[in-house]
């Protein structure tokens, strides 16, 4: 669950879905930032500075539903499809993110004042949390019964009653 949380959470940060993960690389006609620190700033610095907390996000979080595991026509695993759709949607936020950065929406001084940058990050955090919840719920709902504990307790009880 911890590893899954790391990967799904990272997936909600658009910079984890692009080659432009530590600032824009290569041709740069839009003159997006090339600052390599932008990634770690968004991962933690901005969130701390903007005082984004779970308590503030809770009212915006939707109850998750299990992912539909219907058979795909192309044979792909439905969890794989849902995960790729999730990552593709976050990747679609890369250019909007760099546009916002160009408009100074993520500067330190703007963190607590500018709601556009903060709301963008909040939305991504919520999206990641909801996807993680959906995956966990899907796994739990579709898991087979685990009889290990029951069997072991029965064995122990049998051993204790043997004279
Ligand atoms: Zn990161």
Give the model's pLDDT for residue 108.
76
CA 64–ligand 1 middle distance (angstroms) = 25
How far apart are the CA of 15 and the centre of ligand 1, in A? 7
pTM, full prediction: 0.85
pLDDT at residue 78, rounded to an integer: 95
Q: How far is CA 160 from CA 33, 97, 149, 154, in A?
A: 69, 63, 16, 10
Q: What is the reported pLDDT for 133?
A: 96
* 12 class by beta-carbon count within 10 Å (0-12 exposed, 13-18 middle, 19+ buried): buried
- pLDDT for res 161: 78
Q: How far is the CA of 63 from the centre of ligand 1 (A)?
A: 26
CA 122 to the chain's CA centroid: 11
Per-residue pLDDT tens digits for 136-145: 999 999 999 8
**Ligand 1 centroid to residue 4 C-alpha, Å:** 15
Q: What is the pLDDT of residue 163?
A: 64
Give CA–CA dist 85/120, Å, rounded.
19
Ligand 1 centroid to Cα of residue 98, in Å, is: 15
Cα-to-chain-centroid distance, residue 111: 21
Q: Measured in angstroms, how far is the CA atom of residue 39 from the centroid of ligand 1?
A: 6
Confidence of residue 132 (pLDDT cuts 50, 70, 90): very high
What are the residues whose beta carbon lies below 5 Å from ligand 1 (ion)? 43
- pLDDT category at 112 given cuts 50, 70, 90 is confident
Separation of 81 CA from ligand 1 center, angstroms? 23
Q: Which tokens go with 135?
A: 């995956």
Spacing, Cα 77 to ligand 1 middle (Å)? 27
Average pLDDT score, the chain: 93
pLDDT tens across 50-105, in order?
999 999 999 999 999 999 998 889 999 999 999 999 999 999 999 999 999 999 99
pLDDT value of position 115: 86
Q: pLDDT at position 114, please?
A: 72
User: From ligand 1's centre to the CA of 43, what distance in Å?
Assistant: 5
Question: Distance between CA 9 and CA 131 in Å, rounded?
Answer: 9
> What is residue 66's predicted lDDT score, i.e. its pLDDT?
95
95 CA to centre of ligand 1 in angstroms: 17
Question: How many Å lie between the centroid of ligand 1 and the Cα of residue 97?
Answer: 14
């Amino acid at each position: 669950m911890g590893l899954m949380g790391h990967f799904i959470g990272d997936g909600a940060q658009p910079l984890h879905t692009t080659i432009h993960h530590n600032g824009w690389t290569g041709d740069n006609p839009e003159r997006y930032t090339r600052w390599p620190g932008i990634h770690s700033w968004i991962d933690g610095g901005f969130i701390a500075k903007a005082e984004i907390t779970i308590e503030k996000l809770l009212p915006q979080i939707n109850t998750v539903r299990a992912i539909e595991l219907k058979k795909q026509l192309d044979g792909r695993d439905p969890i794989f499809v849902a995960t790729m759709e999730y990552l593709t949607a976050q990747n679609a936020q890369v250019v909007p993110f760099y546009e916002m950065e160009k408009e100074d929406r993520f500067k330190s001084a703007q963190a607590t004042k500018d709601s556009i940058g903060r709301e963008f990050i909040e939305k991504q955090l919520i999206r990641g949390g909801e996807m993680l919840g959906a995956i966990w719920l899907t796994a739990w709902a579709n898991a087979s019964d685990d009889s290990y504990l029951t069997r072991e307790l029965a064995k122990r009880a049998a051993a204790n009653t043997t004279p």
